[in-house]
Amino acid sequence: MEWIIKATEQNSKLLYEIGWSYLYGITRYTKNYKLAFEFFTKSAQQCKDSYSMSYIGDMYLHGQYVTKDYEKVEEWYQKAADHGKSGEYEFELAKLYHDGKEMPQNYTKAFEYYTKEKW
């Protein structure tokens, strides 16, 4: 495991791919939320990878390895939005607040994020 971490330290795509593989248990990787979270966090912190940031938000949303925490969901999606260019993370936050299925419904925040999106 140590050599994987060393080899991937500055490669956000590889860190993200390994995290994703652990999250879903793809190919030779056994599903392991702890390792997925660790690889996404390394990618987010070291390489500012927006995909990894959004997956950290997803893990807080679904309580995968971490405790469900809606403030952390918003924090990590916002970080992803700040580093992304498409507006998809603002849109995702807006949908989450609008629908109220996975996060507490909040039309004010939904409107705020719908109008922030860059699409």
Q: CA distances (Å), 102 to each of 2, 17, 21, 83, 115, in order?
A: 36, 26, 24, 24, 21
67-71's contacts with Cβ under 8 Å and 24+ in sequence apart are 70/103, 70/104
**Site of tokens 């330290």:** 9
| Tens of pLDDT, residues 86-95 | 788 889 999 9
Q: Which domains does the chain have, with CATH numbers?
A: 2-86 (1.25.40.10)
| Tens of pLDDT, residues 19-55 | 999 999 987 889 999 999 999 999 999 889 999 999 9
DSSP-derived 3-state class of residue 94: helix
Q: How far apart are CA 43 and CA 87, in angstroms?
A: 20
